[in-house]
Structure 1
Amino acid sequence: MDDKKPDYANVLVVDDEPLVLKTSAMIAERMCNLAAHKAGNRSEAITLFNKLCSEGKYVGVLITDNDMPQEDEGIKLIQELKAVDPSLYTIIQSGRFVEEDITRLTGTAADSCLSKPVSLKVLAAEINKGYQTYQKRMEK
Structure 2
Amino acid sequence: MKTFAALIRRYVLATAAIVLLVGGLLVGQIFYVGFKSNAVDATGYRVGALADALKQTETGLQWGREHTPAEWMQGYAWAMVLDDNGNVIWQQDLPQKLNHRYTASEVAVFSHWYLADYPVQCWAADYGL
* TM-score, structure 2 as length reference: 0.31
TM-score when scaled to structure 1? 0.30
Greater relative CO, 1 or 2 (CA 8 Å, sep 6+): 1
Task: Please say which structure displays the higher CA radius of gyration.
Answer: 2
